[in-house]
Amino acid sequence: MKFSMFGERFINNTGIKDLVDDLGKYAGIEGTCMLGGGNPALIPEVNEIWRRRMHEILNEGNRFERMLGLYGTSIGSLKFFDALAEMLHEEYGWPVTGKNIAVISGSQTSCFLLYNMLSGELTDGSRGKILLPLMPEYIGYADQTIDPDSFVSCRPEINQYAPNMFKYQVDFDRIDMKNVNAITASRPTNPTGNVLTDGEIARLCTLAEEHEIPLVLDNAYGLPFPGIIFEDVKPVWNENVILSMSLSKIGLPATRTGIVVASEKIIEALSAVSAVASLAPSGVGQDIVQPMLTDGSLLDISRNIVMPYYRKKSLQTIDYIKSSFGDLDYSIHKSEGAIFLWIWFKNLESGSLDLYERLKKRGVIIVPGEYFFFGLPDEDKDWKHRHQCIRVNYSRDFSEVKRGLDVIAEEAAKG
């Protein structure tokens, strides 16, 4: 049997596959500090609400049977679209209706479909690229395009704004729009916790409009839900923005509910592609949250439980790093959202992959930073910074995070 080039690409992608395998392998081992994965925390108050919603669904006529026993449309349930559109309109004044919304089986799949609809061979025969204006970016995009090498990206400016603290900023001078057919970014960003400023977003919106291409904003951690964002910034949508949202980080990752808010033209195209790729998404997440969109409780949870939960953990973890990393020459990316801290070890000569292996031997799992820098021009291959960073998920129990950080400090000190 021969695999296609498409199949081969994933099979040979051993780096990321090894990371994922490690996450599975070490998850069950007692004493391991699992600071690597992207799982949101199991927050007891939030879990209580999901449990209550399931009871309500079970007790509401044949709602449960319909939820499990019927397909929705290829992009979800009309009632859900209307409830979400109304909420977005009320909260932000966006002119969205149900026709601007699609549900896809997880936002990972939304991105896969969108990036492939917008890159590769275009209808005029040219090759379209996707621009990532600020590296590092979400590892999960790296191999999503069927046409290889479709991502082009830019090295950021590094603003060392306080001792041991820095923030990446888009370096607009580095942006080259040649062949770019869409611009994309996660906001907040996985892995760094960066939140593109309102000013940066405005400039990216203008750039996209000038080139008549869409701006795809991955809002998996953003507003209005799960709302894991610690900065006072505005969420943005207009007809030229494709907003990818998700129910995963508010605590429902297993329902695989990705949501796209976009122009009717994009939604119609997604609906056609989704029908072929997956027939229909799961309705479970939609059914759980639909009344919570209408009565405002999804927003309440985001603002009053989920966001404060992560903000507290982030602050606690940064305080711990500051008090325990001693003389190490390190810098933490400003924690503006998402569920990770991004740590830069300025004297890490061995590289973050080597550090990852050493930490693994000592029972601490993180994600090495190199994988998050992709699509960069050849001139940035020797850019040391891309080998000196790691991503730490701080959403685990604090004692586990602390233990892990102590080991990280010891190993990073070896260079």
Ligand X SMILES: Cc1ncc(COP(=O)(O)O)c(C=O)c1O
- Per-residue burial over 378-414, b if 16 or more Cβ lie within 10 Å, else e, is eebeeeebbbbbbbbbbbbeeeebbbbbebbbebbbe
Q: Does 253 bind ligand X (CB under 6 A)?
A: yes
Phi and psi at residue 14, to the nearest 5°: -70, -30
Query: Which of these, 364, 233, 379, 288, lies nearest to 103 by C-alpha position?
Result: 288
Q: How far is the CB of 205 from ligand X (least distance, A)?
A: 19
248 binds ligand X (CB under 6 A): yes
Residue 257's identity, in one-letter code, is: T
The residue with tokens 């994309």 is: 184
Q: Which of the stretches 143-151, 198-206, 245-253, 391-399 binds ligand X when contact is defined by CB under 6 A? A: 245-253
Partners of 154 in the beta sheet?
A: none
Cβ nearer to ligand X, comparing 218 with 411: 218
| Out of 246, 317, 335, 393, the residue judged to bind ligand X by CB under 6 A | 246
Residues 6+ apart with CB under 8 A from 282: 105, 255, 256, 257
Residue 245: CB minimum distance to ligand X, A: 8
Binding ligand X by CB under 6 A: which of 217, 220, 236, 241?
Answer: 220
Site string for ligand X, 256-295 (x = CB under 6 A): --x-------------------------------------
* Cβ atoms of residues 397 and 332 within 8 Å: no
What helix, strand, coil percent values describe the chain, rounded to 5?
Answer: 45, 20, 35
Q: Based on the shown chain and the rule CB under 6 A, indicate whether residue 374 belongs to the binding site for ligand X.
A: no
Interface mask toward ligand X for 9-38; x: CB under 6 A: -----------------------------x
Distance CA 219, CA 191 (A): 13
Question: Considering CB under 6 A, how many residues would be counted as binding ligand X?
Answer: 14
Q: Which of 32, 107, 145, 331 binds ligand X (CB under 6 A)?
A: 107
Verify binding: residue 336, ligand X, rule CB under 6 A: no
Q: How far apart are CA 373 and CA 367, in angstroms?
A: 13
Residue 150 interacting with ligand X (CB under 6 A): no
Query: Which CB atom, from 21 or from 60, has the smaller least distance to ligand X?
Result: 21
Binding interface with ligand X (CB under 6 A): 38, 106-108, 138, 140, 186, 190, 218, 220, 246, 248, 253, 258
